[in-house]
Amino acid sequence: MTPQAEFMAGAKRRAMSLAGRVCLLVAGLIVAVAVVFSAVIWTAWKDESRGHVEVVGGEIARALGPRMAESLASGDRDRLGRLLNTLKDGTGLVWADVRTPAGATVMRLTSPAAPARALAAAPLATPNTPGVFVGRDAYVVVAPLRKDGATVGYLRVSFDRKTIDDIRAGRFAEVWLIVLAMIAIAAPVTLFAVSRIMAPLRTLTEFAQSLTEDDLGRRLTVRSGDEFETLAEAFNRMMGRLDSAMQRMRKLAYVDPITELPNAERFQMELQSVVEGAKQGEQMGALVVLALDRLPRLADTLGQEAAQELLALAGQRLAAAVRIADRTVRLADAGEKPSLAARISNMEFAVIAPSLASPSDAARLAQVAASALSQPVGWRGHRISFGCTVGAAMLPRDGEDADTALRHARLALNAARGEQRPMRFFTRSLDNDAHARLALEREMRDALERSEFRAFFQPKVNLLSGKITGAEALARWTRPDGSLVSPAVFIPAAEENGLIDAISESILRDACWKAAAWSREGFHAHVAVNISALQFNDERFAQKILRTLEQAGLDCGLLELEVTESVAMKNLDRVTALIEPLRARGVRFAIDDFGTGHSSLAALTRLPFDLLKIDQQFIRGLAEDKHAPAIVETILAMAASVNFDTVAEGVETEEQAAFLRLRGCSVGQGYLYGPALAPADFLALLRRSAGGAAEWPQGRLGVA
């Protein structure tokens, strides 16, 4: 999960917003204040009822006390009675009396409005000492009546407790109502204020929740002028940084750093979406894969840095060409999805055209793209061309998914390479061929395990003496059913699937062991073994061969290794270095199929080789092609001048042998002397020739 997604998930997880929680807090505070307030009022009220009675009692004592004391002292009972009667209508009054200091009741007043309950409790509440007394149902005020500094009696006034409490409760309810009204007004005002204050925070939260990875560029506007605005600005800055970091990451993930074109990852996604689109829609698409064939060599010659610069140039050219092709070939308008050019591997580019009117448009688009890459580019004063081969596939016809489409376009590319054509479209037969190759590879692996690849030996004959000088070991695959498979079929396949090493090793071993056996019988015949291009990739090439020679017990001087002209000339320096240890031990090297690689004769002198095998096409042509004799003569003369021994391949007639013998060719090989023979047959031939039994057209055969 991205940090942003986590943040948003966190925001969603919270059940209550901050504003909600503040409102809850404020509401809680209000309730708490109300509760505390009530408790305080309640306590105060309870005390206040007693205080009220004290006050009322005090007022009565002040108003009536002196006069009552006087009346009591003077014994004026009438006046005392009148004064006592003034209390009759006092609120909550139950009774009042005047007593002597000794406690005898002088006079008593009972209120007609006094509740029976209070009167019943009255005898209990008859204290004699001054003060306020709280009984179960009554408050009793006892006030001393003093005259000239002496207490002449007591006035006792009893109030009904419930009546007094109810009056106070009414007051309390009033206060409560006022408080409630204040809460009722304050609560919504407070909530409104809180929600106003929190509004920017809500905006911020909603904005954060609504953000997705694709719109990190959006900005938030908060103009509150407070910390929220600062927070929003900080948030915007943070999102800006996140956005550019995401863009950088996307670029790293989907853009090729050298060419700045979409990379293989992005290409794969685009291809899948175009294939899906093409499957659903009616329009076809095309995939074109372009390989820069010369790039690895350019990298070897000019260095990696230069190769990268050239690649960048090639990428720019391709992108420009694709834009042009969109307008001129696809006739795509502004609303249509443009074609995509991408770099999909070290030396491969690809173009995806999402919609095309016809396969011929695909061919034209491929042409435009290919010619953009084939044109030489100017680079540091040089004109350099990449050499481009193209494979194309139509979508969705040639691939129901991205992988298949790409595999098919690459199959077409490889086929174009094999046929040395600049461009090829995928066809079903290519796929069939690929499957057949896979099946062949499986068969070859099994055949290797069962040692079905064996060396056959074709005699090489000294053209002057007619004696066998040696043999070329040619690989033969004998299937379990006895049928023979030609090396023309399995050698190229083995080179392609990497089995060539194992096959070559088994042929080399076979050839060395057989030649060693011939030697032990006294036939010191040379054995020539073919070396494939891939074997030169192995640094331990010489070591492996020397070990085989040693294990077989064959004299190094009896082994010849044949390297085709094209392989030798292509990797001249590497081949020279790799064969050096073998030449030092006496192994001889031959240039095979000479004349097919078109290398200049002068280049020959640079090869540290010993033998030159003239390709059979020139020998075959001796009778039919008027130029062939001159070519063969020139090759022979030139080989003599650089001290190369010569072997003519494919000698089939005595006329050819005679021509070659006259021009100084030393050795001949061909059906005239025999095809490649099974080891036992070749040994039999050696024995026969040693015994003088083998007949060649020009005479008897011997062993050199």
Choose among ligand C2E, Mg ion, none what residue 361 binds, the Cβ cut-off being 5 to 8 Å by kind. none
| Cα 458 to Cα 449: distance, rounded to the nearest angstrom | 25
CA-based R_g, the chain, Å: 59
CB distance 107 to 130 below 8 Å: no
Smallest distance, ligand C2E to C-beta of residue 507, A: 4
Question: Residue type at 323?
Answer: R
Smallest distance, Mg ion to C-beta of residue 529, A: 8
Smallest distance, ligand C2E to C-beta of residue 440, A: 16
Smallest distance, ligand C2E to C-beta of residue 655, A: 13
Smallest distance, ligand C2E to C-beta of residue 676, A: 5
DSSP states along 291-328: EETTHHHHHHHH-HHHHHHHHHHHHHHHHHHHHHHHHH
**Closest C-alpha to 650, from 672, 622, 676:** 672
x-marked contacts with Mg ion along 297-316 as a string, rule CB under 5 A: --------------------
Smallest distance, ligand C2E to C-beta of residue 542, A: 17
Smallest distance, Mg ion to C-beta of residue 537, A: 20
C-beta of 290 vs 447, nearer to ligand C2E: 447
CB distance 264 to 344 below 8 Å: yes
Choose among ligand C2E, Mg ion, none what residue 290 binds, the Cβ cut-off being 5 to 8 Å by kind. none
- Would you call 204 helix, strand, or coil by DSSP? helix
Smallest distance, Mg ion to C-beta of residue 671, A: 14
| Cα 614 to Cα 591: distance, rounded to the nearest angstrom | 8
Choose among Mg ion, ligand C2E, none what residue 634 binds, the Cβ cut-off being 5 to 8 Å by kind. none
Query: Which residues 6+ apart lie within 8 Å of 31 measured at CB?
Result: none
CB distance 315 to 349 below 8 Å: yes
C-beta of 267 vs 673, nearer to ligand C2E: 673
530 forms part of the interface with Mg ion (CB under 5 A): yes
Smallest distance, ligand C2E to C-beta of residue 629, A: 18
Among 160, 256, 361, 562, binds Mg ion (CB under 5 A): 562
Choose among Mg ion, ligand C2E, none what residue 396 binds, the Cβ cut-off being 5 to 8 Å by kind. none
- Whether the CA torsion 12, 18, 23, 27 is positive or negative: it is positive
Structure tokens at 84: 């006592």
Is-cis flag, bond preceding 123, omega within 30?
A: no
Residue number of the CB atom closest to ligand C2E: 670
Smallest distance, ligand C2E to C-beta of residue 620, A: 7
C-beta of 414 vs 532, nearer to ligand C2E: 532
CB distance 165 to 49 below 8 Å: yes
C-beta of 71 vs 669, nearer to ligand C2E: 669
C-beta of 541 vs 589, nearer to Mg ion: 589
User: Which residue reads 């090989």 in tokens?
Assistant: 669
**Closest C-alpha to 666, from 459, 458, 469:** 469
CB distance 352 to 297 below 8 Å: no
C-beta of 262 vs 650, nearer to ligand C2E: 650
- CB burial readout 385-394, b (16+ within 10 A) else e: ebebbbbbbb
Taking CA 643 as the corner, what is the angle to CA 638 and CA 647, rounded to the nearest 5 degrees? 75
Choose among Mg ion, ligand C2E, none what residue 192 binds, the Cβ cut-off being 5 to 8 Å by kind. none
C-beta of 153 vs 668, nearer to ligand C2E: 668
Smallest distance, Mg ion to C-beta of residue 624, A: 19
C-beta of 426 vs 490, nearer to ligand C2E: 490
| Cα 401 to Cα 549: distance, rounded to the nearest angstrom | 52
Choose among ligand C2E, Mg ion, none what residue 111 binds, the Cβ cut-off being 5 to 8 Å by kind. none
Choose among ligand C2E, Mg ion, none what residue 85 binds, the Cβ cut-off being 5 to 8 Å by kind. none
Pairing of strands 93-99, 150-160: antiparallel
Smallest distance, Mg ion to C-beta of residue 445, A: 25
Taking CA 429 as the corner, what is the angle to CA 427 and CA 433, rounded to the nearest 5 degrees? 125
Choose among ligand C2E, Mg ion, none what residue 15 binds, the Cβ cut-off being 5 to 8 Å by kind. none
C-beta of 409 vs 563, nearer to ligand C2E: 563
Residue 397 has φ and ψ, to the nearest 5°, of -55, -45
C-beta of 158 vs 564, nearer to ligand C2E: 564
Smallest distance, ligand C2E to C-beta of residue 310, A: 34
Question: Residue type at 413?
Answer: L
CB distance 542 to 581 below 8 Å: yes
Choose among ligand C2E, Mg ion, none what residue 259 binds, the Cβ cut-off being 5 to 8 Å by kind. none
What residues from 621 to 650 belong to the interface with Mg ion (CB under 5 A)?
649
Choose among ligand C2E, Mg ion, none what residue 646 binds, the Cβ cut-off being 5 to 8 Å by kind. none
Give kind and range of the element (H or E) at residue 542: helix 541-552
C-beta of 340 vs 528, nearer to Mg ion: 528
User: Which residue reads 């007591």 in tokens?
Assistant: 154
CB distance 61 to 90 below 8 Å: no
Q: Which residues bind ligand C2E (CB under 6 A)?
A: 458, 474-475, 486-488, 491, 504, 507, 530-532, 562, 592-593, 616, 649-650, 652, 669-671, 676
C-beta of 414 vs 564, nearer to ligand C2E: 564
Piece of the chain touching Mg ion by CB under 5 A; list 93-101, 415-423, 561-569, 689-697: 561-569
**Closest C-alpha to 297, from 418, 376, 373, 384:** 384
C-beta of 276 vs 441, nearer to ligand C2E: 441
656 forms part of the interface with Mg ion (CB under 5 A): no
592 forms part of the interface with Mg ion (CB under 5 A): yes
Smallest distance, ligand C2E to C-beta of residue 586, A: 21
| Cα 656 to Cα 661: distance, rounded to the nearest angstrom | 9
Choose among Mg ion, ligand C2E, none what residue 412 binds, the Cβ cut-off being 5 to 8 Å by kind. none
Choose among ligand C2E, Mg ion, none what residue 671 binds, the Cβ cut-off being 5 to 8 Å by kind. ligand C2E
Among 593, 650, 661, 689, binds Mg ion (CB under 5 A): 593
- Would you call 644 helix, strand, or coil by DSSP? coil
CB distance 285 to 277 below 8 Å: yes
Q: Residue 255 pairs with which residues in a beta bridge? A: 262
C-beta of 465 vs 653, nearer to ligand C2E: 653
Rounded to 10 deg, the angle between the 264-280 and 402-418 helix axes is 110
* Binding site residues, Mg ion, CB under 5 A: 530, 562, 592-593, 649
